[in-house]
C-alpha cells in the first residue's frame, strides 16, 4: 500500500484526490492520535485550523472541522492565514495541534492537508504513520455534550502580525517595498506587517478570488514584481508563494535575490552580531556553490542536508542551530519560527537594509552566484545510478577538472523515474557542456528502466 502522506502532508487534486470524505476521515484519525495526550490529562483537545484562499479550501475546512468536532476536539477556525502563521498560533495559544489546508505553490485546482504537532512543529514520519493506521480503524465517537465546539479565531491575524513586529529591532522607515502576495494567504498580513514596521508599501498579487492563487504572480513568477520595482524606483521587492512559507526578493535594478543569497545575507549579519549559533548555517545539497564559498570566506560552517525543508529543520533541531533554508526561499529562523516563514524572512531582509544603509544588491554581493545547470533525465533506472562505474568515473573526472571552481551532483528523484543532473561552474558554457554530456551518458547507460 502506498503511503498517504507525502513530503509535506497529503496533497492532490481537490475533489478527486482530496475529497470531503478523505478530509473528514483524516481529521478523525488526526484527532485520535494528536489529541491523545489531552484526553489522558482529562481535558478536551484544542486544534487551530486554517487555510489558504483557494476555493476548495472552503469545503475541505468544513470537512476537517466536522471531523475534529465529531471526535471531541474544540476547533479554533483561523480562516485564511499563512502556514507559518498557523504554526505560530498553535504554539501561541498552546493548542494540542493544528491543521493547515493548502497546496503551497501548486496551482489552484490542487489542495492539501497538513498537520502541525503541539508547538507548531511538523509531524515526524512515525506520527504520520500512526494517523494512517488510525484511518483504517473505527473512529472514536463522542455524543451529546462531549462533541467539540467550532469557534472563529477572531484575532488570529493580529496576533501573528504583532509577533512578526516583535522580532524586529530596527524600523523600516524610508524603505519602499513592493510586495507580491501571490494572490495567496499573505494578502492580508504581509502588507499590514510591512506597513506597521514603517515601510512604504506597494502591493501586487493581493486580490485572491479562490482560483488565481500563484497564477502569474508570486515566488514562481517574478516578472511582474521585477517590472514594478524598477518602474516605481522601489528599494526592493518581496515575493511570497501561495501559503507564504517562502520568500524571494528583487533588488532595485530588478535582479532576483534567491534563497541562497538571502541565507548568506542573514548568516553574515547574524555572525557579526554574535547571534549565529556555532557560526553555522544549514542548507541543502542543491544550494549554489557560491554560498559554500562565501560562508567559508566569512568563517561560517555550512551543514548540508538532503533536499526538502523538513531535512533542514531536522538538522537545525539536531544541532541546536538558528538559521537554515533552501534556494527556493524556504528560510527558517528558529529564534522566531518553527517553520519557513516568508513574511518573517522578508521583514528581516528589509531590516538588514535599514540597519546597514546598504542596498539589497550590495548585501547580496556577499556571495557570487555560480552558473547552475539542472537537467532532468526521465525514463531511466534511477536505482542503477550508484552502481554504474562508467557514470561514476565520468562524474569523478569532471569534478577533478572543476576543482574548487565547480561542482557536479547526480541525484535520483524520490518520486519520479528520473535522475537530476546538476552542474555548477564559473562559466555558463562549461556548466552547460558538462551537464548535457552527463545527461546523455545517463540516458545511454540507464535508459532501459528496471522495476523500482
Q: How far from the centroid of its chain's Cα atoms is residue 19's Cα?
A: 24
Set of cell numbers at residue 382: 534511477
Q: How many CB atoms lie within 10 A of CB 171?
A: 16
Grid cell, residue 48, equals 487551530
Q: Please state, in angstroms and rounded to a whole number, the distance separating the CA atoms of residues 20 and 308.
A: 28
Q: Do 381 and 446 meet the contact criterion of CB atoms below 8 Å apart?
A: yes
For residue 256, list its beta bridge partners. 250
Cβ count near 158 (within 10 Å): 11
Closest Cα to residue 385, out of 296, 322, 447, 433?
Answer: 447
SS3 3: coil
Q: How many angstroms separate the CA atoms of 47 and 117, rounded?
A: 10
Q: Which residues are annotated as a binding site for Mg(2+)?
A: 104, 241, 243, 245
- Asked about 104 being catalytic, the answer comes back as yes
Q: What is the DSSP string of 48-73?
A: EEEE-S-THHHHHHHHHHHHHHTTT-
Annotated binding site: 104, 241, 243, 245
For 179-214, the three-class secondary structure string (H helix, E strand, C coil) is EECCCCCCCCHHHHHHHHCCCEEEEECCCCCCCCCC
**C-alpha cell at position 389:** 562505474
Can you read off the three cell numbers belonging to residue 324?
537554515
C-alpha span between 87 and 291 (Å, rounded): 29
In 52-183, which ranges are E strands? 74-80, 97-101, 110-117, 121-122, 150-152, 176-180
Question: Cell triple for residue 234?
Answer: 522601489
From 56, 70, 71, 104, active-site residue: 104
Nearest by Cα to 132 from 22, 37, 57:
22
Active site residues: 104
Amino acid at each position: 500500500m502506498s503511503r498517504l502522506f507525502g513530503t509535506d502532508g497529503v496533497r492532490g487534486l481537490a475533489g478527486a484526490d482530496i475529497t470531503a470524505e478523505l478530509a473528514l476521515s483524516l481529521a478523525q484519525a488526526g484527532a485520535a492520535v494528536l489529541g491523545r495526550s489531552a484526553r489522558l490529562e482529562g481535558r478536551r483537545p484544542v486544534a487551530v485550523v486554517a487555510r489558504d484562499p483557494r476555493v476548495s479550501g472552503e469545503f475541505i475546512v468544513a470537512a476537517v472541522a466536522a471531523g475534529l468536532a465529531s471526535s471531541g476536539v474544540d476547533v479554533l477556525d483561523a480562516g485564511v492565514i499563512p502556514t507559518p502563521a498557523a504554526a505560530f498560533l498553535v504554539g501561541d495559544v498552546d493548542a494540542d495541534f493544528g491543521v493547515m489546508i493548502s497546496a503551497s505553490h501548486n496551482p489552484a485546482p490542487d489542495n492539501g492537508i497538513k498537520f502541525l504537532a503541539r508547538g507548531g512543529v511538523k509531524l515526524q514520519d512515525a506520527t504520520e504513520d500512526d494517523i494512517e493506521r488510525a484511518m483504517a480503524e473505527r473512529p472514536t465517537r463522542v455524543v451529546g455534550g462531549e462533541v467539540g465546539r467550532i469557534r472563529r479565531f477572531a484575532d488570529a491575524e493580529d496576533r501573528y502580525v504583532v509577533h512578526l513586529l516583535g522580532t524586529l529591532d530596527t524600523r523600516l522607515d524610508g524603505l519602499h517595498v513592493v510586495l507580491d502576495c501571490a494572490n495567496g494567504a499573505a494578502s492580508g498580513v504581509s502588507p499590514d506587517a510591512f506597513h506597521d514596521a514603517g515601510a512604504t508599501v506597494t502591493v501586487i498579487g493581493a486580490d485572491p478570488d479562490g482560483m488565481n492563487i500563484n497564477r502569474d504572480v508570486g515566488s514562481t513568477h517574478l516578472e511582474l514584481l521585477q517590472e514594478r520595482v524598477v518602474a516605481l524606483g522601489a528599494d526592493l521587492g518581496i515575493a511570497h508563494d501561495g501559503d507564504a512559507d517562502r520568500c524571494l526578493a528583487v533588488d532595485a535594478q530588478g535582479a532576483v535575490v534567491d534563497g541562497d543569497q538571502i541565507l548568506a545575507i542573514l548568516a553574515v549579519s547574524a555572525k557579526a552580531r554574535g547571534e549565529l549559533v556555532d557560526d553555522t548555517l544549514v542548507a541543502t545539497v542543491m544550494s549554489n556553490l557560491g554560498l559554500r564559498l562565501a560562508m567559508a570566506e566569512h568563517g561560517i560552517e555550512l551543514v548540508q542536508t538532503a533536499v526538502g525543508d523538513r531535512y533542514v529543520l531536522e538538522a537545525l533541531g539536531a544541532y541546536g542551530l538558528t538559521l537554515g533554508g533552501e534556494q527556493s526561499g524556504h528560510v527558517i529562523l528558529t529564534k522566531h519560527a518553527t517553520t519557513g516563514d516568508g513574511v518573517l524572512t522578508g521583514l528581516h531582509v528589509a531590516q538588514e537594509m535599514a540597519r546597514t544603509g546598504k542596498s539589497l544588491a550590495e548585501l547580496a554581493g556577499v556571495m557570487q552566484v555560480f552558473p547552475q545547470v539542472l537537467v532532468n533525465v526521465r525514463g531511466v533506472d534511477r536505482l542503477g545510478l550508484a552502481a554504474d562505474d562508467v557514470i561514476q568515473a565520468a562524474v569523478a573526472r569532471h569534478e577533478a577538472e572543476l576543482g574548487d571552481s565547480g561542482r557536479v551532483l547526480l541525484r535520483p528523484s524520490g518520486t519520479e523515474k528520473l535522475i537530476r543532473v546538476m552542474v555548477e561552474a564559473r562559466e555558463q558554457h562549461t556548466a552547460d557542456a558538462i551537464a548535457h554530456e552527463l545527461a546523455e551518458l545517463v540516458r545511454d547507460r540507464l535508459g532501459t528502466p528496471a522495476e523500482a
